[in-house]
Amino acid sequence: MSVRLTTLTAALTALAGFALQVSASEAKAPTLDDAAGRYDIDGSSQINFKVGQVGGGGISGKFTKFSGTFQLDRGDISKSVVEFALFPETVQTGEPRIENFLRSTAVFDTASYPKIVFRSTKITRTGENTAEIEGNLTAKGTTRTEHFEATLTEWNRRVIGFRIQGGVYRTRYNMSVGIPIYSNVVQFDMMVNGEKH
Amino acid sequence: MLRNGPDAFGWVTILLHWTIAILIAGLLVLGFVMTRPDIDPVLQFDLFQWHKSFGFTALGLAAIRAVWWLAGRHPASVAGLSTPERHASFAVHILLLCLTLAVPVTGWALASASTLDIPSFYFNLVVIPHLPLAKSAVAEALWTTAHAVLAYGLAGLVLLHAGAALHHHFIRHDAVLVRMLRNRWRDG
């Protein structure tokens, strides 16, 4: 009897674990049941990237126009789905010449490929507040599988926030200009905030 | 012989002279092509990096050339030159020496002052650090103008220099050109 109770408690705790950040105003710990549902990624999110260069430093910037949703499944994180699109034309680095170069055929070719999209195919829980997101990234007419790490940073009944990080090899998307002066790896470090739909 | 003699250039001088000459010609062509307005951006990026790598090579060789010139002996002027001609040729040669140093240094300065902060990766082998200059659009523009003016000035001087050498060879039939082609020369 007590073994079954222990097992049940452990299972519930595991399910709840993913959404277990308690903000000061919350009276009780939220569960995955509460967190479940559809969230629209809102404009407060920061979609940052960095490309390293030899000798240190690099090009860092962000994209200011993007959209997406995540669908958190009730009870099973692996059935959740993330869909995301960004407009590379909105890249900002603080240097107009670099931004224009990134928009050109040399990198994003925004005139021909105005959107970069990501759709998750598999989400795997890796810790209490973390998950690995595997999915298809499409950029400049090429689709490849990429992996990102997500860490839950914020949750209340209406809003959810994740830090999503990952590296993408740009040669896979026909964006190899500047190697080896500039790294092949584009590091994404994003704060993605979702508002419950 | 390697070193300059009383009436002949040594092989070091000859080799440095022509290597630097070829580099200058190539760099001028690269510099012109890479700054054309509708150039493909990937090609432009690559040409700039080649230009910088060959430019630093030219700078290094020009520095060696200058030291070699200062430390070694100079062959006597070819017979048949008047005093103003000797002075003019000396002035042009000194100016060429100075420009082969100044042009790449202004190029180094413009890359160093640029807000683009693109590293100089010498033939993708070693990073050449920026000069300690403050980065700004104004500074980059100033060094760019200096680099272009001095480079095209050098081009003009090279044409004058080469033209004079050809004149000496084909019109005057003297040893001026020939003694920069081989170590031993004979009077006409």
Tokens for A99? 């931004």
Q: Which of A7-16, A25-34, A90-99 has the highest mean pLDDT?
A: A90-99
| pLDDT under 70: residue ranges of chain B | 185-188
Is B42 in the A-facing interface, judged by CB distances under 8 Å?
yes
pLDDT surpassing 60 at residue A18? no
**What are the residues whose beta carbons fall under 8 Å from the beta carbon of A119, sequence distance 6 or more?**
A81, A82, A83, A84, A135, A136
Residue A72, number of CB atoms within 10 A of its CB: 23
Give the model's pLDDT for residue A91. 98
Q: Which residue of A has its CA nearest to B38?
A: A104
Q: Which CATH class is domain A2-196?
A: mainly beta
Which pLDDT belongs to residue B151? 98
Q: Report the gap between the CA of B119 and the closest CA in chain A (Å).
A: 7
Which residue segments constitute the domains of chain B, with CATH numbers given?
A: 11-180 (1.20.810)
A178 in contact with chain B, both atoms CB, cutoff 8 A: yes
pLDDT value of position A77: 83
Model confidence at A1, pLDDT cuts 50, 70, 90, reads low
CB-based contact (8 Å) between B49 and chain A? yes
B contacts of A54 (beta carbons < 8 Å): 119, 121, 127
Task: Pick B127's closest partner by Cβ from A55, A98, A106.
Answer: A55
CB A188 within 8 A of CB A51: no
Q: Answer whether residue A87 shows pLDDT above 50.
A: yes
Q: What is the pTM of this model?
A: 0.87
Could you tell me how far CA B173 lies from the centroid of its own chain?
A: 27
Tell me what pLDDT residue B157 has.
98
The three-class DSSP label of residue B167 is helix
A11 pLDDT band, cuts 50/70/90, is low
